[in-house]
């Protein structure tokens, strides 16, 4: 836990490189994926992310690992990257 802001620090393996620019780039790519499921992600101060659905629900998520679990809750199904419709949508 960070003593200054109370935000849980994390060092998720998939987010160790790239810095601030990488984080912005990551959010952009994730949003292309989430759009297929009616969801959207915002970066919050470079510390955590905020996941939203179109019904107005929102959840704070620490990292990519947690993101997909919460997104599955909002979408009502697991978000499978091998889903052929998602692959077509990204292409």
Partner 1 sequence: MPLTEKTPVVLLTGFLGSGKTTLLQRLLAHPEMGETAVIVNELGEVAIDHHLLRRVDERTVVLGNGCVCCTLRGDLADELRDLLGRRERAEIPPFRRVVVETTGVADPAPIVYTLLSEPVVKHHFELERVITTVDAVHGLRGRESLLQAVAADRLVVTKTDLASGGELERRLGALNPTAEVLEVSFGEVDPDVLFGGEGRRLRDLPAASHAEHDGVQAHSLVFDEQLDWIAFGVWLTMLLSSRGSDVLRVKGLLDVGGSGPLLLNGVQHVVHPPVHLDAWPDDDRRSRIVFIGRGLERSALEESLTAFVRAARQ
Residues that bind partner 1 (CB under 8 A): 11-18, 22, 25-26, 29-30, 32-33, 64-65, 67-69, 72, 78-82, 84, 86-87, 90-91
Instruction: Select 1 or 4, whichever has its Cβ closest to partner 1.
Output: 1
Query: Which residues are CB-neighbours of 19 under 8 A, at least 6 positions away?
Result: none
Instruction: Select 37 or 52, whichever has its Cβ closest to partner 1.
Output: 37
Q: Are 51 and 39 in contact (CB under 8 A)?
A: yes
| Cβ 90 to partner 1 shortest distance, Å | 4
Distances (CA, A) of 55 to 14, 78, 91: 29, 18, 27
């Amino acid at each position: 836990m960070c003593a200054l802001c109370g935000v849980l620090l994390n060092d998720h393996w998939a987010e160790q490189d790239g810095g601030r620019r990488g984080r912005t780039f990551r959010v952009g790519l994730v949003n292309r994926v989430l759009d297929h499921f009616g969801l959207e992600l915002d970066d919050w101060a470079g510390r955590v992310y905020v996941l939203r659905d179109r019904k107005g629900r929102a959840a704070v998520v620490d990292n990519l690992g947690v993101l997909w679990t919460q997104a599955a809750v909002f979408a009502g199904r697991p978000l499978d990257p091998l889903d052929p419709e998602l692959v077509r949508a990204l292409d």
